Amino acid sequence: MSGDLQRMRYSIESVRAREEKLGAVMSAMTAVATLLALLSVVMFLGFLIFLGGDWLANAQSATSGVDQPVKSNFEVLLWGGAELAVSGGVFPAIVGTIVLTLVMTVIVSPLGIVVALYLTEYAGTGWHTRLLRIGIQNMAAIPSIIYGVFGLAFFVYVIGGRLDNLFFAGNLPNPTFGAPGLLWASLTLAILTLPTVIVATEEGLLRLPLALREGSRALGATRSETIFRVVLPAATPSIMTGIILAVARAAGEVAPLMLVGVVRYAPTLPVSVEAPFIHLEQKFMHLGFFVYDLTMHAPGSEGRVGIVAASGLLLVLVIATLNLAALLLRLRLRRTFLRTGFE
């Protein structure tokens, strides 16, 4: 009897030991996978900073003439120089990127907020609401190049072509809005980032308790009064987060722009000091496309690593700053709600 118990205890012990060893190995493997993922991030950032920073730290050496002041590579990157195949440097590209994302933000913010409001405050649970939700969920994962194709076909050729026929017939056959340009690129990016704004805003709106809306309605406020005076003010941080995330995503997109208006070199900036201040029909330069162009048309490929990394670093920094802002905003928002017990 005690022998059976002994044997049983022994076999349990051995199973347990085997299980423990298996667990140790498997958990170690998943931990290693995590380390590898982190390592890949560190390596990428390391290369970017090392290669880009190294190039930036160097000054333009032999190429400048004797009587010219030696330009730092930072200046070369910004304003252009002999080492840059593209004249003008990265400055107009930065301006282009900023103007593009600004126009995009102006378009996408109201649209995204309105759709999110519809989904949370107006829509019922009917099939069309579900369809809209599925559509928006899917929009987020549609390849960005498809948005470019759509932008070209619909905005540029259909809408732009109509506009030209209606208002700029005098310029035809030279297209005004019937060709790729800033407006269409902004619109394309706006649609591309629309799901980001919608999802973030919706999340913020859903986080607000129903009681808040009921409280307002019970005081005799109409639905729109409730939205404007209670719901939207309370959801502002989420909306801001959504918009910042959208801008961060848009700033890194290049593929769709290649179809709707980005160029290697634009002779003038899309903004000016005189009216109309912003030239929506112009083609523009873009930081991401600048990186692409430098890489694609690099004559001696290795020599270009530095400058590509430097301009890439610039782009990553811009996007990282935006993402960080969104992250902090969300953290603050979460803390506020935790304190108030809404969550």
Partner 1 sequence: MDHREALIAASTNRSNPSEAAPGIEVKGLSLTYPEEPNALTDINLSIPGGEVTAVIGPSGCGKSTLLRCFNRMNDMLEGCSYSGSIILNGLDVLDPATDVTALRRRVGMVFQQPNPFPMSIYENVAYGPRIGGVRRRRELDEVVESALRLAALWDEVKDQMNRNAIVLSLGQQQRLVIARAIAVRPEVLLMDEPASSLDPISTLRIEELIYELKQSYTIVIVTHNMQQAARVSDRTAFLNQGRVVEYDSTDKIFTNPAERATEDYITGRYG
Partner 2 sequence: MFARDRRYLTDSLFGLLIRSTSLVVGLLILGMFTQMLLVVWPMFAAPSVSEQVFVAGMEPGTAAVPESGGGENPGEFADRPVTIDLPRKAVQLVLVPGDSVIAVETRPQLPATTPVRRQRLSVLEGAGALSFAAIDVAERYLLLTFKSGIFRLMSIRDDGHLESAYAGTLPAHRSVRPVPGGQSWVLVTEDALVQVHLVFLAAEASVATLRSMPVSDGIAHASTVSPDRRVLVATRSGEIRLWQLDMRKLTALDGLRGGARSVDWLSPVLFEVIYSDGSTRYFELASRLAEMSVNRLFFPVQFEGYSEPGYYWQPSATSDGFEPKTSLIPLLLGTLKAALVGLVLAVPVALGAAIFVGYYLSSRRREQVKPFIEVIASFPTVVIAGLAALWLAPRLIESLPEIVGGALALPILGGVALLMAKHLPTSVTRRGEVKVLPLHFLPGLVIVILVGAALGHWVEQWLFEGSLVTWLPEQGIAVQQLNSLLVGFILGFAILPTVFSLAEEAIYEVPRVGAAGSIALGATPWRSFQDVVLPIAAPGIISAVMLGFGRGIGETMIFLLLSGNAPGTDGSLFSGIRSLSATLAIELPEAAVGGTHFRTLFLGALILFALTFVINTLGHLIRNRILTKHRVSR
Residues 206-225 that bind partner 1 (CB under 8 A): 209, 211-212, 214-222, 225
Cβ pair 261, 187 in contact under 8 A? no
Q: Which amino acid is at 47?
A: F
Among 6, 8, 13, 38, interactor with partner 2 by CB under 8 A: 38
Site string for partner 2, 209-238 (x = CB under 8 A): -------------xxxx-x-----------
203 binds partner 1 (CB under 8 A): no
User: Between residue 29 and residue 58, which ones bind partner 1 under the rule CB under 8 A?
Assistant: none
Residue position matching structure tokens 């610039």:
314
Q: Considering CB distances under 5 to 8 angstroms, the limit depending on partner class, which of partner 2, partner 1, none binds residue 224?
A: partner 2
Q: Considering CB distances under 5 to 8 angstroms, the limit depending on partner class, which of partner 2, partner 1, none binds residue 70?
A: none
Among 123, 212, 269, 280, interactor with partner 2 by CB under 8 A: 123
Burial 35-68 (b: 16+ CB within 10 A, else e): eeeeeeeeeeeeebbebbeebbeeebeeeeeeee
Structure tokens belonging to residue 228: 């404007």
Sequence-distant (6+) residues with CB within 8 A of 70 are 59, 60, 61, 64
252 binds partner 2 (CB under 8 A): yes
Of 180 and 270, which CB lies nearer to partner 2 in the complex structure? 180
Site string for partner 2, 315-334 (x = CB under 8 A): xx--xx--x---x-------
Of 123 and 255, which CB lies nearer to partner 1 in the complex structure? 123
Sequence-distant (6+) residues with CB within 8 A of 244 are 322, 323, 325, 326, 329
- DSSP string of 272-309, one letter each residue: -SSTT-B-TTS-B--HHHHHHHHHHT-SSGGGGHHHHH
User: Between residue 261 and residue 290, which ones bind partner 1 under the rule CB under 8 A?
Assistant: none
114 binds partner 2 (CB under 8 A): yes
User: Between residue 14 and residue 33, which ones bind partner 2 under the rule CB under 8 A?
Assistant: 16-33
- Is 72 in a helix, a strand, or coil? strand
Structure tokens belonging to residue 341: 């017990």
Q: How far is the CB of 293 from partner 1 (least distance, A)?
A: 48
Q: Considering CB distances under 5 to 8 angstroms, the limit depending on partner class, which of partner 2, partner 1, none binds residue 340?
A: partner 1
**Angle, alpha carbons 145-85-289 (nearest 5°):** 15
User: Between residue 70 and residue 99, which ones bind partner 2 under the rule CB under 8 A?
Assistant: none
Query: Which residues of the chain form contacts with partner 1 (CB under 8 A)?
Result: 124-125, 209, 211-212, 214-222, 225, 229-230, 233-234, 339-340
